[in-house]
Amino acid sequence: MPVVRLHLDRLKELLSGEIKEQELEDIVFTLKGEIESINKTDGTLDIEFTMDRPDLLISEGVARAIKGLKEIETGFPKLTVKNSDYQLLIHDVPSRPYIAIGIIKNYPLDEKTLEELIQFQEKIHLTVGRKRKKVAIGIHDLDKIPSKKLEYKPVHLDYQMIPLGHSDRWTVRDVLKETVQGRLYGSYSIMNDHHPAILSDGEIISLPPVINSDVTRLDVGTKNLLIDVTGTDEFTVLKTLDLITSILSERKNAFIELCMIVRNNNSFLTPGLTPTFVETTISDINRTLGVELSGDDIVRLGEKMRWEVLWDEDNIRAGAPEYRTDVLHPVDFIEDLAVSYGYSNFTLEPKPVTTKPKEDEYTVFKKHVKRILIGLGYTQFLSFTMISDDLAKIAPESGISPIRIINPISNEMSSIRPSIIPSLIQAIRESQKSGLPLRIFEIGYYGYIDAKSKGLSTGEKLALALVDYRVGYEDIQSALEGLLSILGITPVYQRYYSDIFIKGRSSIVKYNDTVIGYVGEIYPQILVDNQIKHPVGVAEVYLDILYQLWKIH
């Protein structure tokens, strides 16, 4: 977990008053952090925070969180946002395609602020940025930028710049070879003797993710900042810029200015400063936390963590502020409610000394199905969920695509099976010396992509197969009918056409309008392709649907 060194006097200035050492320690602990040490000589404190809260890695972010928990300021931070005259034209940069820029005005740098700002930048590089590979940040003195018209494009390695900390011009090639940053990060974005660069009036001001130019270096006395964020993931780039600009604007009198981004004849403003919304219910919150909170309680607790919360009856809609890059799911909101409520306020209940074991009902149902099929003369078979691409084409459903593995270890395990039927076909091929008739079944997982919705469908299916010298549709259908009858389900069989079945010798199985499964005789060419010498009848049902119908009956 990252450890940051903050200055107590900066923190107190941002809070507009004193904060006691014990109170600060308690609040930091509430925020999932820990004060490792306080140096009273130089007025610094070392704090360890979890990696999921990069907004707390600078005094501005800690102050904003403290204001919320102490109810000095609650809900979304009140940002001052203006438009600027700065514009960035993005060219095609395939090795590092995404960039966003923003401006912070009235953010004067003294030694302590500059020290924390550079530390904040590097800690984000290590956490969100994955050591600059995913995201890299450049911070510039806005007043030193040659022009308000910026460009982001690849430059040849022979192009020259003045690297940070130097006064003479170097080629990009030399920067990558000779500087420490170049040796560490120079391989990330180089492509075909070109490297991404941000230029202003033809002058390179940044070579992301490697180094900035000395032209726009930060110094004590710098007052206005331009921040660039580049990377390989657009969402992370935009959220990182939101994080940095929002947090730095916590400084008194500081404000954000938006920049125009032009890409492929489209234009948009950054930072977007977009909140993240999640939806849940009061019931789910209380069930998860084990407390009884009202809608008004949830609003108050959420606003202390700087969320905006709306509620109507049992429904909750909560917005996380733009600087929260860690919010992905309603459980993140519920966790913040727990922090705001105070973990010490939760009542501990001892677990009972003894518990009464009970088998899961779905497991009981599967065992029941297995016993029925064994009673009908079928033998259970177990196989892998992964199959070959050729076998993955065998499925009764229409309009589906198999899920393929990009770099499979073996061609025999290159797809996730969309059906249990191909696994049974493979088992029959390898078991033809076992004698006839051969009756087998399997319960197992499947997965496929629906061609229309592009959605993923997964679950468990049951499939059974019958192999004999002569096998008809009625033979396999009667076995399925026997199973369903014992389960108390009366299905309807309707004519169905599929590439894997003989035309006119297959059905779709329904209960009311719900599809339960499929039954039919396997098409002869599939048998020939798999070296199977005898006819095969198969039936397959969705086990989760069967389970729900069984519970009803």
Backbone dihedral angles phi then psi of residue 357, each to the nearest 5 degrees: -70, 150
> Is residue 390 helix, strand or coil?
coil
Nearest-angstrom CA–CA distance, 302 and 58: 22
Model confidence at 466, in pLDDT bands (50, 70, 90)? very high
The pLDDT value recorded for residue 45 is 94
Q: Which helix (H) or strand (E) holds 155?
A: strand 149-156
The pLDDT value recorded for residue 454 is 74
Question: Comparing 338-352, 507-521, 529-543, which segment has the lowest mean pLDDT?
Answer: 338-352
Q: What is the mean pLDDT of residues 160-167?
A: 96
Pair 149, 201: CB distance under 8 Å: yes
SS (H, E, C) 243-292: HHHHHHCCCCCCEEEEEEEEECCEEEEECCCCCEEEEEEHHHHHHHHCCC
Q: Tell me the pLDDT tens digit for each residue of 215-258.
A: 999 999 999 999 999 999 999 999 999 999 999 999 999 999 99
The pLDDT value recorded for residue 446 is 95
The alpha carbon of 100 is separated from its chain's Cα centroid by a whole number of angstroms, namely 21
Cα dihedral 348, 353, 359, 361, rounded to 10, equals -40
Q: Tell me the pLDDT tens digit for each residue of 11-39.
A: 999 998 888 889 999 999 999 899 999 99
Choose among 281, 260, 282: nearest CA to 271.
260
Find tokens 């033979």 and name the residue: 475
The pLDDT value recorded for residue 450 is 85
Model confidence at 53, in pLDDT bands (50, 70, 90)? very high
Nearest-angstrom CA–CA distance, 423 and 447: 13
The secondary structure of residue 158, as a DSSP letter, is: T
The pLDDT value recorded for residue 451 is 75
Model confidence at 432, in pLDDT bands (50, 70, 90)? confident
The pLDDT value recorded for residue 528 is 95
**Structural domains of the chain sorted by starting position, each given as residue range(s) with its CATH number in brackets:** 3-69 (3.30.56.10), 81-270 (3.50.40.10), 276-342 (3.30.56.10), 361-552 (3.30.930.10)
Model confidence at 399, in pLDDT bands (50, 70, 90)? confident
Nearest-angstrom CA–CA distance, 546 and 443: 12
Phi-psi sector, 43: left (phi>0), alpha (psi -120 to 50), beta: left
Nearest-angstrom CA–CA distance, 356 and 354: 7
Cα separations in angstroms, 497 against 14, 108, 391, 400, 503? 71, 74, 19, 15, 6
The pLDDT value recorded for residue 271 is 98
Question: Comparing 35-49, 172-186, 343-357, 528-542, which segment has the lowest mean pLDDT?
Answer: 343-357
Choose among 116, 83, 70: nearest CA to 251.
116
The pLDDT value recorded for residue 187 is 94
Nearest-angstrom CA–CA distance, 60 and 78: 14
Q: How many CB atoms neighbour CB 432 within 10 A?
A: 14
Pair 317, 309: CB distance under 8 Å: yes
Beta strand pairing call for 255-263 and 81-90: parallel
Q: Which helix (H) or strand (E) holds 363?
A: helix 361-375
Question: Tokens representing 198?
Answer: 């941000």
Nearest-angstrom CA–CA distance, 481 and 487: 10
The pLDDT value recorded for residue 276 is 95
Q: Tell me the pLDDT tens digit for each residue of 312-368.
A: 999 999 999 999 999 999 999 999 999 999 988 888 777 767 777 888 999 999 999
Q: How far apart are the first and last CA of the chain?
A: 54
* HSE (side-chain half, CA atoms, 13 Å) at 137: 29
Does the pTM surpass 0.85? The reply is: no
Cα separations in angstroms, 28 against 16, 57, 303, 338, 480? 18, 12, 18, 15, 62
